[in-house]
Amino acid sequence: MATRPILLVPLATLGFAPFTAQLAETPLKIEMYSDYAIWAVVAALVYLFGLISAMMLLVRRKKSLAVLVVALSTLIGAQIILSGHNTVARWRSAYHIAESIRPYVKPDIPLYSVGTYDQTLPFYLKRTFTLVDYQNEMAFCIMQEPQRWIPDTASFTKIWDKQPAALAIMSVQLYPQLKQQGLAMKIIFEDTQYIVVSKP
């Protein structure tokens, strides 16, 4: 039957889903991949049930009903897998960070991105960041506006100390290094990937 080869899709998903967390490099990704795997399993089961039902209907020569069942199970399975994608949204979007720190973001308070840059955060906050010890894809922009770039953390520390108020985002790995260097910081947001600090 034509539906038999398609059975490989949900079966492969069911076989692979329990191992998705092994692809993660960070604790946050492990958590998100594990959550997403649950959605994938549910979607695969819905699709598999639809295909098996369609095969049984084809045996009974109910072709139109079989097509309808496959179409519905495919639609429902796709909706489930797309809805589950929200579980990995925290890795791909800084929306949750923006919402958490929004009360601290004022027009006259400078924002720094230290050793990293999430392109979605300036969009959600409607603010421009000064990059610290980071260029990569922003190298051309830095050439146009060099005043929005600080080449290293040592220079950043001197500027930070002179600021009456400021915010900075950094990786969780960088925070203890700056803390050890004596940088005065107060954590206002933290997850397994990023830390946002303010002047204490």
**pLDDT tens per residue across span 112-160:** 999 999 888 999 999 999 999 988 888 888 888 888 899 999 999 999 9
Is the pLDDT at 1 greater than 60? The verdict is: no
Same domain, residue pair 68 and 102? no
Owning domain of residue 75: 5-91
Q: In angstroms, rounded to a whole number, what is the distance separating the alpha carbons of residues 82 and 191?
A: 24
Based on the fold, state whether residues 124 and 188 are members of the same structural domain.
yes
State which of 91, 112, 128 marks the end of a domain: 91
pLDDT at 86 exceeding the cut of 90: no
185 with 156, same domain?
A: yes
Domain shared by 57 and 35, yes or no: yes
pLDDT of residue 5: 66
Tokens standing for residue 9:
């899709």
Same structural domain, 97 and 191: yes
pLDDT tens figures, 15-59? 777 776 666 656 666 667 777 788 888 888 998 888 888 888 888
Asked which of 20-29, 158-167, 174-183 is least confident by mean pLDDT, the reply is 20-29
Per-residue model confidence (pLDDT) at position 16? 74
- pTM of the prediction? 0.62
State mean pLDDT over 62-67: 88
Tell me how far the alpha carbon of residue 28 is from its chain's centroid.
9
Tokens of 122: 């300036």
Q: What mean pLDDT do residues 162-172 have? A: 94
| Same domain, yes or no: 150 and 59 | no
Tokens 């001197």 belong to: 158
Count structural domains, the chain: 2
Of the candidates 43, 65, 91, which is a domain's last residue?
A: 91
